[in-house]
Amino acid sequence: MARNLRRQWPGNLAATGVPRRERRPCSYDAYVPDTLVGRPIVLDGAVAADVADAELAIAGLNGRARALVDTEALARILLRAEAVASSRIEGLEVGPRRLLRAEAARHLPDAHADVTATEVLGNIDAMVFAVQAVDVGGPITVDLLLEVHRRLLSHTRLSTHGGVIRTEQNWIGGSSYNPCSAAFVPPPPGHVTTLLADLCAFCCTDDLPTVAQAAIAHAQFETIHPFIDGNGRTGRALIHVVLRRRGLGPRVLPPISLILATRARSYIDGLTATRYNGVATGPAAREGLNVWVGTFAAACTRAVADASAFEDKAADLQQQWRTRVGRVRAGSATELLIGALPGAPIITVESAARLIGRTFKPANDAVTRLVDTGILRQISIGRRNRAFEAPDVISAFTALERQLASPEGDTHSSAPARPVPASKNR
């Protein structure tokens, strides 16, 4: 039975540099959710229809991608967008061009490290690892979640906490010094391991629609809040792990976090609605779960619509590039690079060679040809490092993020609901 546990915070009257009222002992309620395995879950008719629409949309995106844009390129740019949005929910603000430059600079010896961008890149690495670590029907384990979290924090000041289940009480909102005025207090640390094991066992079941399972798993993870930091980003990676395990997003995953970030109030309200008190079969449990699953399913459908619009734009850009370049041999380095650029809009010659599986010379020739036709332009990364960017793709990526930030999907009629990069190249 889901319940609140009354706890006492000991306080620390001897602490210095802390307001007196924050040093006092106080009481708070820590929430312990029901376990998920074996819990009866009933979706209302309208919510079940929303879930079916979302699954049809995600499957359709995966089915169409091969015909329009190189699947790996589309998957990379959408995964990058997803990681940016998930990080932004956590307060890490990085625009597309800044992130792409930092990504291109990673393999260069003397490039200046962008600390914030590096943390977002860690989110991308963790998400890539997560979705590649689970095959269709494969197990989702606590060890997998710990490894995702370890990778997420590996290049941050909190790296020593990466992959470590918390042993202290944490909380959300309120004071920085105690949980007594918090908006939400997760379970005490003694409950975390059992709840995580139950969550992973639930993620390995197949009796619920995939989107509903992903929604419930994410909400439960955020409720457990098993880590000192990075819970939100790990929990949003879990969404895609569930989709991949169930075979719904085998090649392309929609940027769901971008929509959740846009509808932040609905996102928080939806998670909160799942935190009922009482039995799992009660009306509060059923209503709260349906509120959240419906919100999540709608976010999935919207994410697919905007991802499809980006895919169309990328396909149009590639057609324009082929026209500008003129005749190219099928399978040539130039043709391969045109196919890969939507997923890697900032490259070096070395990274281009790795990207298309060619040696340095044909990659360099392809880059030169795309520079000569205005598709790429030379930029500098660090002090002496030469790189090249595809400004058309960066503009399209920026437009995608702005579109996803608009409640109505159109920034001309509905202003972005959260901070977004400027619409023009700078």
330 assigned to some structural domain: no
214 assigned to some structural domain: yes
Taking 60 as the threshold, does the pLDDT of residue 178 lie above it? Answer: yes
Count the domains in the chain: 1
211 assigned to some structural domain: yes
Taking 50 as the threshold, does the pLDDT of residue 425 lie above it? Answer: no
Antiparallel, parallel or unpaired: β 385-389 and 346-347: antiparallel
360 assigned to some structural domain: no
370 assigned to some structural domain: no
User: What is the residue-wise DSSP string for 252-314?
Assistant: ----HHHHHHHTHHHHHHHHHHT--SB-TTSHHHHHHHHHHHHHHHHHHHHHHHHHHHHHHHH
Q: Which residue has the higher pLDDT, 72 or 144?
A: 144
262 assigned to some structural domain: yes
* Listed ranges 83-97, 110-124, 290-304; the one with the highest mean pLDDT: 290-304
pLDDT at 300: 96
385 assigned to some structural domain: no
Domain enclosing residue 105, as ranges: 37-308
pLDDT at 89: 60
Give 52-78 pLDDT, tens digit per residue.
999 999 999 888 765 455 666 666 777
For range 183-187, the mean pLDDT: 97
Taking 70 as the threshold, does the pLDDT of residue 181 lie above it? Answer: yes
pLDDT at 71: 61
Which region among 91-95, 253-257, 386-390 has the lowest average model confidence (pLDDT)?
A: 91-95
What CATH number has the domain bearing residue 194? 1.10.3290.10
Give 202-225 pLDDT, tens digit per residue.
999 999 999 999 999 999 999 999
Taking 90 as the threshold, does the pLDDT of residue 92 lie above it? Answer: no
166 assigned to some structural domain: yes
